[in-house]
Amino acid sequence: METIVIKFGGSSLSTTEKIKNAAERIVRIKQQGKKVVAVVSAMGKTTDQLVELAGQINANPAKREMDMLLTTGEQMSISLLSMALADKGVDAISLTGWQAGIVTENIHSNARILDVKTTVLKQKLDEGKVVVAAGFQGVTEEGEITTLGRGGSDTTAVAIAAILGAERCFICTDVTGVFTSDPRFVPTARKLPSISYDEMLELANLGAGVLHPRAVEFAKNYGVALEVRSSVEDEEGTVIEEEVSMEKNLIVRGVAFEKGMTRLTILGLNNQLNGLSSIFTVLADHQIDVDIIIQSQTDTDKTNLSFSIKTKDLENAMEVLEEHKQKIGYEGLEHEVNLAKVSIVGSGMVSNPGVAAQMFQTLASNQIQVKMVSTSEIKISVVVNEEQMERAAQALHEEYKLGAIVAEAVK
């Protein structure tokens, strides 16, 4: 008997009616003779409400205590969904992350999964039960409760699917699949029938919120058959796989964008061989992610170094760099806020020269100034003013004819 893992996000469980609909979806899968593991997030805006509640008590709560608080959201979801299944005559059991065997590293608020101990999962599945497991959470080897960071339920679902050798892992959300861009901002965006792991990983890292990057990474590493589909509409979604089976002529397959970026510049940096290593090691030690990096020579002894970070990390980054100023060896710091990152992604870019030139020409013709650039084999990212982000995304989506080509491909 094959196993199906199906994940429901918070928006798919925001009301009791939606919880009942999720139960109906699980019942239909169960009736096909499949074993089922349902991984769920907290209902609706529960996590945000818990964060707000904590802030009313303590402006700077300990991460350990926040993990203890936030994991209660998923516990509410798993129990209610299990009750809904029982009401439909299905034998189900709810399991917290630690009861389901999710073992993580010893880091609070953003832990990575190290292992999934399957004894309980397999036992309950063999008993014919539907397992309803809490996403987003786990436990360390020392018994400390941890969370996986926002979007971590995706990762939980894929990790369980990988370790159980599941036939397929469905990620059910409030959209019908992966689109060429965010349809809320790019009206011509269209759903892709399939996309490669690498392309999806780039899009997820670049701001496409439909899937958590760690989930895509897990799926690629373990060959998990992954499909993003609607939790409401009964239609095929987008399959994430190693090789896409359709639209091989599509050079650029998606446009992603993300607000809340800041350019931080370190001025008068000493030209030491270990200078860059010192900077980025210090930032990494404080869980500050750095993205686009530009170094410019000012004279024979000094350089300026600019890099982009999330604006929410700016204050922490400034404090860390000031604290290590003498060790790093620099003269000053500057920053520019209200920036955004806009990216094009497509595996076809590798063998098609001129894509970058086309991108920059399009942005220039739309009077959009490019402040920073980063490239890889399958993506090009630019940093622009936040107010120009939507216009840039729409112009690029139109330039690469994503809406028109996809519409033709799926006829």
Tens-place pLDDT, residues 130-152: 999 999 999 999 999 999 987 89
β-partners of residue 194 are 239
What is residue 247's predicted lDDT score, i.e. its pLDDT? 52
> CB of 255 within 8 A of CB of 343?
yes
What is residue 411's predicted lDDT score, i.e. its pLDDT? 40
Question: For strand 379-385 and strand 372-375, is the pairing parallel, antiparallel, or unpaired?
Answer: antiparallel
Q: State the span(s) of the chain assigned CATH 3.30.2130.10.
A: 255-409
Structure tokens that stand for 135 in this block? 């996403």
What is residue 219's predicted lDDT score, i.e. its pLDDT? 94
**Cα–Cα distance for residue pair 110/152, rounded to 1 Å:** 9
What is residue 409's predicted lDDT score, i.e. its pLDDT? 44
In the numeric block, the tokens 């519409």 are attached to: 407
**Confidence class for position 51, pLDDT limits 50, 70, 90:** very high
Tens-place pLDDT, residues 24-50: 999 999 999 999 999 999 999 999 999
Q: What is the mean pLDDT of residues 274-302?
A: 85
> CB of 134 within 8 A of CB of 46?
no
What is residue 299's predicted lDDT score, i.e. its pLDDT? 67
What is residue 408's predicted lDDT score, i.e. its pLDDT? 43
- Whether domain 255-409 has CATH 3.30.2130.10: the reply is yes
**Cα–Cα distance for residue pair 205/208, rounded to 1 Å:** 7
As a whole number, the mean pLDDT across the chain is 92
Question: For strand 332-345 and strand 254-270, is the pairing parallel, antiparallel, or unpaired?
Answer: antiparallel
Name which of 16, 149, 124 is nearest 77 in CA terms.
16
Question: For strand 238-241 and strand 293-297, is the pairing parallel, antiparallel, or unpaired?
Answer: unpaired
Name which of 62, 29, 107 is nearest 285 in CA terms.
107
**Confidence class for position 248, pLDDT limits 50, 70, 90:** low
Q: State the span(s) of the chain assigned CATH 3.40.1160.10.
A: 3-174
Phi, psi of 7 (to 5 degrees): -110, 135
% of the chain with per-residue pLDDT over 70: 96
Domain spanning 3-174: CATH superfamily: Acetylglutamate kinase-like (3.40.1160.10)
Q: What is the mean pLDDT of residues 202-223?
A: 89
**Confidence class for position 177, pLDDT limits 50, 70, 90:** very high
Bigger pLDDT: 242 or 203? 203
Structure tokens that stand for 219 in this block? 């799926």
Tens-place pLDDT, residues 323-357: 999 888 899 999 999 999 999 999 888 778 889 99
